[in-house]
Amino acid sequence: MRRLPGMIIALTLLLGSAGCGSGVRYYRARDLVAHRPLRVAVLPLTNQSATEGAGDALRLAIGQEMLRRGDYRPVPDEQVNPLLAEMRIRYADRMSAEQAQELARRLGADALLVGVLETYEYREMDGEKVPLVSLHLRMIEPESGRVLWAADHHRAGNDHEFLLGLGLERSLARLGQKVVHEMVATLPQPGGGS
């Protein structure tokens, strides 16, 4: 009976650490040699979710996370959006290589970040509404078309719940922020670091 409290603590730590992994599947170029900070145009996400405006909210969050890192500098949306309209680019993830090169040149961007927001909604699970977010991002080098980084992340608000509701996320907005934070953390370091 004396070992019970120690076993409970050990079980709690074990279960807690099981939910701490980011769960982001990603690829990053090992030979990213560039000046710091890398100037990136974060383009509007293609929003396939049923939630209007969700792509814009996550695009903003991506730019903020990049700024926090310090080794990336997003091109302001105020410069990106008018140029996309002028060039008649409606879906950034479907633009041609020539459009990508011209866009990057005119924005002075070293790279373009494009993505698809697949899921951003609440779903009924076990009698509760659970937030779900599924996001796919990739950063490309416009001149060569080479993928510098790509990441996929799918999270549910209850996927990190482990004991007495700890780790449970009920807010869709906060879950979206977590997904973006975990994805941006996997970006390569400009200058060739991993």
Q: Which domains does the chain have, with CATH numbers?
A: 23-184 (3.40.50.10610)
pTM of model > 0.75: yes
Query: Which 3 state secondary structure label does DSSP give 139?
Result: strand
Give residue 15's pLDDT band: very low, low, confident or very high (50, 70, 90).
Answer: very low
User: What is the Cα–Cα distance from 105 to 57, expressed in whole angstroms?
Assistant: 26
Instruction: Name the H helices within the chain.
Output: 4-18, 54-69, 77-86, 97-107, 172-184
Residue 129 structure tokens? 């509404």
Query: What value does the mean pLDDT take over residues 15-38?
Result: 67
- The number of beta carbons lying within 10 Å of the beta carbon of residue 113 is 26
Query: What value does the mean pLDDT take over residues 70-84?
Result: 95
The angle formed by the CA atoms of residues 114, 117 and 122, to the nearest 5 degrees, is 165
pLDDT tens digits for 108-124? 999 999 999 999 999 98
Residue 55 structure tokens? 């792509």
Cβ contact 115:137 at 8 Å: yes
User: What is the Cα–Cα distance from 102 to 87, expressed in whole angstroms?
Assistant: 9
pLDDT of residue 2: 47
* DSSP 8-state secondary structure symbol assigned to residue 90: S
